[in-house]
Structure 1
Amino acid sequence: MLKTVFSLLFLFFLSCGILTASENDSLIVFESNHLNINTLQINQDSIPKSVFIGNPIVPLSNGIFQTRLESIRKDVDLSYNEHVQKYIDTYLKRKEHIGKMLGLSKYYFPIFEKALKEFGLPDELKYITVVESALNPNAVSRSGAVGPWQFMYTTAKGYGLTMDSYTDERKDPQKASLAAAQYLSDAHKRIGDWLLAIAAFNCGMGAVTRAIAKSGGVADFWKVRPFLPLQTQNYVPAFIATVYTMNYHQIHEIAEKPAGFSTSTDIFPVTKRISISSIAKATELDVNELLMLNPSYKKQIINGSSLLPMQLVVPSFTSASYSSLYELFNGKDEDTTANLTISANPENKFKTEQKNNKNSYFQYIVKAGDTLSGIASKFKGTTVAGIKVLNGLKSTVLKPGMPLKIPKI
């Protein structure tokens, strides 16, 4: 959905005219406009001035790249040809930026994969975000596309995302991913080919269906390609090259770089209006890291309520920071009657804290592989015996999804 300007970029265009400088001398990635789903409305200032055209496609003699692409192919056709090779050549020269994308992917890809899985979609589609935004949730394109998936306002509203005075869910990695998965699912159902569905993510379903008709009605990207907008002709080869480079980075001596923030996080629901700066102060967490983990809050304010709790993502907490958050959200001066719940992403360990009259306790949701001794070790001062007594357990057998009360020490 669309190209963005920002400092840490992955998708660098080839030097023969595809590089376009922004005002701060950074490079820009593809800026698409699938937001006008049924119309072909191209932002002319975003179209590369030089593109790799030239048909028919001529397979290259270097079969190692084709073999490697075939080895990682699942549901999406990772075709190999001269157009893909040109992007691979470019990306392999940008090792620092690819390394940064690898580091960021440790945090973002599990979120994207979960959303895609909910719709039964290929997880390879997660690489679209590298092409779109270089995994920057705060990315904003010249045409107004926002977030890691680069949604325009109209399409975002049509796919259930909220944009108001306090929130822009296009920047929320989880919610934006669900909307993107729905769009890609719709595109594939309509078009019937994954590469063309990816193309539709760039230029819109209407543009792709018209291009298919002009090409003779066959839903094959490489046959349809000459009839697509120029930027979309390059968008799909760039996607394939991205998949290759990030999967075979070690062979090309590309090292993963740190993400720059904690990739192990927990999620709290917030049932009051509170600033992120006050949360940072109470927990002694870095405010910039909290802002990076919570990019959808436009005024750095979480405008939650008991009827509509908002999510707060924090680095995996310590006992001290957890207690601070508990007091901050549940102190006497707080106007909230909701229990404090922690829902976890795939890397999180904890789920829920409640207050039960005078006795407070954590509620932990058992996951596969958990043991009582392992859970007890995560909470200072907690013992296996204490957990068994509080929960009335007669054995140490645990089942995934089982809620456990953990004494708050």
Structure 2
Amino acid sequence: MLCKQILAIAASILLCMTTSLGLAKERTYDRDSIKTVILKRPAPLSRIDTISLSAHERELASSPIREIIKDQFSPLKKQMEEDHNADVEAYVNKYTNQAFRAHLSKMKGLAAYYFPIFEQIFGETGVPQAIKYLAIIESSLNPHAVSRVGATGPWQFMYTTAKGYGLKMNSYVDERKDPFEATYAAANYLKESFNIYGDWLLAIASYNCGPGNVNRAISRSGKANPTFWDIQRYLPAETRNYIPAFIAMAYVMENTDLYPVEANYTDMPTDIDVILVDKNLSLSSIAKVLEIEPEELYRLNPSYKRKIIQGDKLNPSRLIVPKVQSQEYAKLYSFLQGNSPATPAILEAQNQDVYIVKKGDTLDGITKRFKGSTVSSLKAMNNLRSNVIQPGMTLKVNQD
């Protein structure tokens, strides 16, 4: 029975989803351009009345599990060193402890929303599906998580690294918090590291402490092609524990029969639509059209600091909304095209961030109306080469 469970776990981890989310740069808003991602919650656990681990479960959690882990994570490890699995076992014990159940329950609830997104992107980029569990270790699946050193988002990118992988960060958006963009960046980083080291666990170690630390640890190990376990003791203390924690979390999350914890579902929807927007729109105005609470869109679009989407024809921005019912498509289409009676709500909602130049206006005069704006920032935001402005121009403005 245990062997069958292990095989099932391994098969689920190895499965790569190959369908598309439809995230290509689209420029029209007919019904076909509104792409849908179906996120399905797993069936409720049948053993929800289980309060604590059975004697068998405690025994398994504290016993050597190297062979189970080796089978389960074959895409990540060519070979697991037996002498180091006590570290993983310690984290399995931690995660299956009664005190950890509430956190594990929350993670399972959030995973119902985030994991399908991660799985699709990893499938597209050739990253093993099991790496999705790394986001639990990184951020507890919190897009607003910020570490003590400033790493931000579900994949905890530092500012410089994020810039290097094409994530936008300015006064309007921080794509480190975008579950789509940040996951693509994380996948690219991990894939590049794997191409260097030829080992997924070393790639993950590099993600945590940087390639410099991994390279020094490899050099100190004296081995030409070491595994993570060969260099573990030469790595920073955090990274030594990072890999065992990741493997243990994946093992516990996958092995629901042995560790039955009911998911604590959040307010995140199970079905979403992903739409590319080529204009400036406030999330509150979109919520009004869809007749939902603005907070729901704020949760689904955590990267927009000012709750405003700034898109254009060449670089449309992503909007995530709860699944749009068929009768709502026409209304949403009309709104995005600017033909809806609700369009004035967009302008009204954006008056504080978009200014239409009037006769007699100067850049200096406009900055005095909007606290936080300067002449230089206005010129930079609007690609102005001089201080000359014309009536009717639409300017983006900063306002604290």
Alignment TM-score, normalising by the size of structure 2: 0.65
Distance 1:311 1:150 in 2: 20
Q: CA deviation at 1:265?
A: 0.4
Aligned residue for 2:152, secondary structure, equals coil
Contact 2:63 2:89 in 1 (8 A): no
Letter in 1 for 2:210: G
Distance 1:120 1:330 in 2: 36
Change (3 A) 1:86 1:283: same
Moved over 4 A (4+): none
Which residue of structure 2 aligns with residue 249 of structure 1?
256
Structure 1: gaps (5+ residues): 1-59, 337-409
Contact 2:95 2:104 in 1 (8 A): yes
Which residue of structure 1 aligns with residue 66 of structure 2?
66
Is 1:127 the counterpart of 2:128? The answer is: no
5 Å matches for 1:3-402?
A: 62-63=63-64, 65-77=65-77, 79=80, 81-93=85-97, 94-217=100-223, 218-332=225-339
Q: CA deviation at 1:233?
A: 0.6
Structure 2: gaps (5+ residues): 1-60, 344-400
Change (3 A) 1:254 1:71: farther
Aligned residue for 2:182, secondary structure, equals helix
Which residue of structure 1 aligns with residue 372 of structure 2?
none
Aligned residue for 1:81, secondary structure, equals helix
Change (3 A) 1:310 1:71: same
Letter in 1 for 2:104: I
Contact 2:113 2:268 in 1 (8 A): no
Q: How many percent of aligned residue pairs carry the same amino acid?
A: 47
Distance 2:145 2:315 in 1: 27
Change (3 A) 1:213 1:70: closer
Distance 2:131 2:96 in 1: 21
Distance 2:184 2:338 in 1: 34
Distance 1:142 1:324 in 2: 44
Q: CA deviation at 1:305?
A: 2.1
Aligned residue for 1:274, secondary structure, equals strand
Distance 1:228 1:133 in 2: 21
Q: CA deviation at 1:242?
A: 0.8
Q: CA deviation at 1:229?
A: 0.4
User: Between Structure 1 and Structure 2, which shows a larger proportion of helix residues?
Assistant: 2
Distance 1:62 1:89 in 2: 10
Higher relative contact order (CA 8 A, sep 6+): 2
Contact 2:162 2:176 in 1 (8 A): yes
Alignment TM-score, normalising by the size of structure 1: 0.63
Distance 1:265 1:279 in 2: 15
Aligned residue for 2:274, secondary structure, equals strand
Aligned residue for 2:76, secondary structure, equals coil
Q: CA deviation at 1:71?
A: 4.1
Q: CA deviation at 1:322?
A: 3.0
- Residues 286-342 of structure 1: CA distance to partner in whole angstroms, max 9, x if unpaired? 2222111111111110012233221111111124443332232223379x9xxxxxx
Distance 1:109 1:210 in 2: 33
Which residue of structure 2 aligns with residue 352 of structure 1?
none
